[in-house]
Chain A
Amino acid sequence: QKEVEQNSGPLSVPEGAIASLNCTYSDRGSQSFFWYRQYSGKSPELIMFIYSNGDKEDGRFTAQLNKASQYVSLLIRDSQPSDSATYLCAVFANRDDKIIFGKGTRLHILP
């Protein structure tokens, strides 16, 4: 059974600080990785997409991928109250044409 694991939280971070969200996956052959943000009652919104080892930066967001450790993370710099949401890690399964989601980490930015 291919799994994507995330700490459910809530993760509380002061406004302006760096929020660090982590995700591990079981399928070593997984090829691409997604971070989605989901506000309550809304659909997942794509924040970052990464498929090469290392860091990828987009504005305040940095995704980090380590395929050897089967680990992907998301850093949010200068956290804002509007960043408070559930962050979903998702992995494109190897040899299957589908994305597997983690249960998500609830992030709460403290004003």
Chain B
Amino acid sequence: SQQGEEDPQALSIQEGENATMNCSYKTSINNLQWYRQNSGRGLVHLILIRSNEREKHSGRLRVTLDTSKKSSSLLITASRAADTASYFCATDPMNTGFQKLVFGTGTRLLVSP
């Protein structure tokens, strides 16, 4: 079953604009990871934020985590056409005894030139 829910389901913007995607989840977590997927291919790892962290940056990416609200956001600044892809959040739930990722349903991002 899907734990996470991304919002919006789809987002269409112009090059140079910022894109914000949100993720909500249901259970306590060890960490939350964001992935990108191009056209049904493999997932590319973008960033991992641990449960004791609130914000993390990597290049044009900024991720926030609010464990009290069980939510995270991914901000892509100065978007490019090459950022067009589906973006998934994945949580690593606590107390499973092993690491498994529980993915949301994804946000489809379209960046137009």
A binds B: no
User: What residues of chain B have their CB less than 8 Å away from a CB belonging to chain A?
Assistant: none
User: What residues of chain A have their CB less than 8 Å away from a CB belonging to chain B?
Assistant: none
